[in-house]
Each structure stands twice: as C-alpha cells, then as structure tokens.
Amino acid sequence: MKGARRRGDRTGPGPGFRRTAVAVAVTAAAVVGFGGALLLAGRGDDSQAREPYPSASASASAEPEPPAPGAPGGGAQQDPDCTASFRTVNSWQGGFQGEVTVTNAPSGASSGWTATVVPPAGARLTQVWDGTLATTADGRATVSNASWNGTLEPGASVTFGFLAATSGQVGEPSATVTCAATAGDS
C-alpha cells in the first residue's frame, strides 16, 4: 500500500523533538518576558519612570581633603557633594530590581562617582548595569561609575540599575544609599 505507515516507521522528527520544542518555547518566553519587564520598568525617557517610588534616599557629603603641604594655590581640590536615591523597579519572591540615581552637586563638575548600596538583611546585589559592582561579605555593595558615565556636570544625574537576590520574601524592598564624587577639572 502506497502511503501506509507501518508501526516503527519514522518519517518525522525523533522522540525528543516535542520536548525540545517546548523547552525552547518556554526559554524564549522567559527571555521575552524579562526583557519586557525591563522595558516597562522605566529604562526610557518616560518622566513618570524617573520619579522615585517608593523612595528611600540619603545623601552624604564627601569630607574635604586637607591642603597638601607646599601645594600651589594653598590646597587640594575638595570633593563635590552628591546625593543618591533608591527606587524599587520590580520585586518577586527571592529578589528585586532596584535603581539608584546619583545627582552631582550644583557647585562643580565631577570626574567620577561611587555609590554605596546597603540592601535589607538577607539581600545581596548580584548584577549591576551602568556601573561596576564590588560587594563585601555583609551584603554591602559599592558601585562605581562605568567608563562612559563618570563625568557629571554641576547638577547632572546618572542612574544605574541592579538585581538583588533575597532569602525569601523581604516585604517592600529597600536600600540605604549614599554617594561620593571625585572633583573634576574646573
């Protein structure tokens, strides 16, 4: 008989094809979903996305350096002040996405910045974008500027994002943030 298939004949894909196709579809959906979450999280020019909600902000002033002995002009440059604010972008059981905005003081330009992020107990920053991450054993994280966003004019801001892993649900994610800026050439 022409066209009749006998038991054991294989004219289509192998037995693992269906499982592979499903795994690829699930992986693709997860990647697209995460990318969509980042897009909806305010990574564009949407003014509403830049409002800190909820906000837990702190500011820190860098201590001025003492004058260097024999330095021309009577002393060394002082580090300009900066402020840092935290915003929760998204949260889920076992982690959250946060965003920190570093704003330079209006008094002078900076040539670099460093932000300290202290997440809630049991949380740890695992990934950062638009900055360089260093963490300590207690979960405290130091984020330094990337090569392209360290120079800030007076009053200018830069934002970096991060992912944090938590041990279970921590309620409303929070972080204490402070910053310091390096004086730029005037």
- Is 10 within a domain? no
- Is 159 within a domain? yes
- Is 27 within a domain? no
For 128-172, how does the pLDDT look when each residue is reduced to its tens digit (9 = 90+)?
Answer: 999 999 988 888 999 999 999 999 999 999 999 999 999 876 678
Please count the structural domains in the chain.
1
Decide if pLDDT at 68 tops 70: no
The CATH number of the domain holding residue 153 is: 2.60.40.290
Q: What is the identity of the amino acid at 140?
A: R
For residue 129, give its domain range: 53-62+78-183
- Is 146 within a domain? yes
The CA distances from residue 28 to 35, 41, 163, in Å, are 11, 20, 21
Q: Of residues 64 and 11, which shows the higher confidence score? A: 11
User: Phi/psi at 28 (nearest 5 deg)?
Assistant: -65, -40
- Is 58 within a domain? yes
- Is 70 within a domain? no
- Is 37 within a domain? no
Alpha helices in the chain (DSSP H): 17-40
Q: Is pTM, for the whole model, over 0.85?
A: no
Please report the pLDDT score of residue 96 as a whole number.
95
For 86-129, how does the pLDDT look when each residue is reduced to its tens digit (9 = 90+)?
Answer: 999 999 999 999 999 999 999 899 999 999 999 988 899 999 99
Q: What is the mean pLDDT of the chain?
A: 71
- Is 145 within a domain? yes
Paired strand residues for 128: 162
Residue 126: CB atoms within 10 Å: 13
For 28-46, how does the pLDDT look when each residue is reduced to its tens digit (9 = 90+)?
Answer: 333 334 443 433 344 443 4
- Pairing relation of β-strands 176-183 and 141-144? unpaired
Paired strand residues for 142: 116, 134
Residue from 121, 135, 128 nearest 98 by CA: 128
